[in-house]
Structure 1
Amino acid sequence: MKKKFPKLKTDKAAETFVDEADLTQYDLSGMKPVSFEFQPKDKSITMRLPETLFDAIKEEAERSGVPYQRFIRQTLENALHLGK
């Protein structure tokens, strides 16, 4: 049986753990992929949405664990990448 992944409260604790631990001994099945946004956001848009759509977007963003504006941006990016 694999070990449970420990709760790491600081960046330093996480760095030390990754440097020293044998990650093959841990159950990493609960891990989720994380994406980082590095490009500057230098343009903005204004959109008018029906309240029901806006509420649905906010709910889905909350379920995904991201702010709703990032959720909208990711959704647009995903739609564009699907066409390629």
Structure 2
Amino acid sequence: MTKLKKIPDFKSEQDEREFWETHDSSEYLDLSKAKRAILPNLKPSTKTISLRLPEGLLDSIKVEANKRDMPYQSLIKAWLAKEVQENRR
């Protein structure tokens, strides 16, 4: 086995990203000693927004969500995601 190179100290995450984009990690890491990582409960990042809706519309959405036995905000997200996906085609 060849001797591994020393991983440099990076001043920033951007410096590290640029380094790994241009270097082969097998020259720096012994992947035979790697262990499988378990990352439970990973969720996509979310951002809170404020959305003003007419009360009647919100009430109707809540009724539809109740019929589906799901939170109304989840129903809104599902509808939005479906609409965006269909418009990408």
Gaps (5+ residues) in structure 2? Answer: 1-41
Structure 2 length-normalised TM = 0.48
Percent of aligned pairs with the same amino acid: 38
Structure 1 length-normalised TM = 0.51
Instruction: Quote the Cα distance in structure 2 between the aligned partners of 1:42 and 1:69.
Output: 13
Structure with greater Cα Rg: 2
Say whether residues 1:72 and 2:76 are aligned partners.
yes
Q: 1:30-53 CA distances to partner (integer Å, 9 max, x unpaired)? A: xxxxxxxx6334211101111000
Instruction: Quote the Cα distance in structure 1 between the aligned partners of 2:53 and 2:59.
Output: 10
Instruction: Quote the Cα distance in structure 2 between the aligned partners of 1:56 and 1:62.
Output: 10
Query: Which structure would you say has the larger RCO, counting Cα contacts within 8 Å and 6 or more residues apart?
Result: 1
Gaps (5+ residues) in structure 1? Answer: 1-37
SS at structure 2 position matched to 1:39? coil
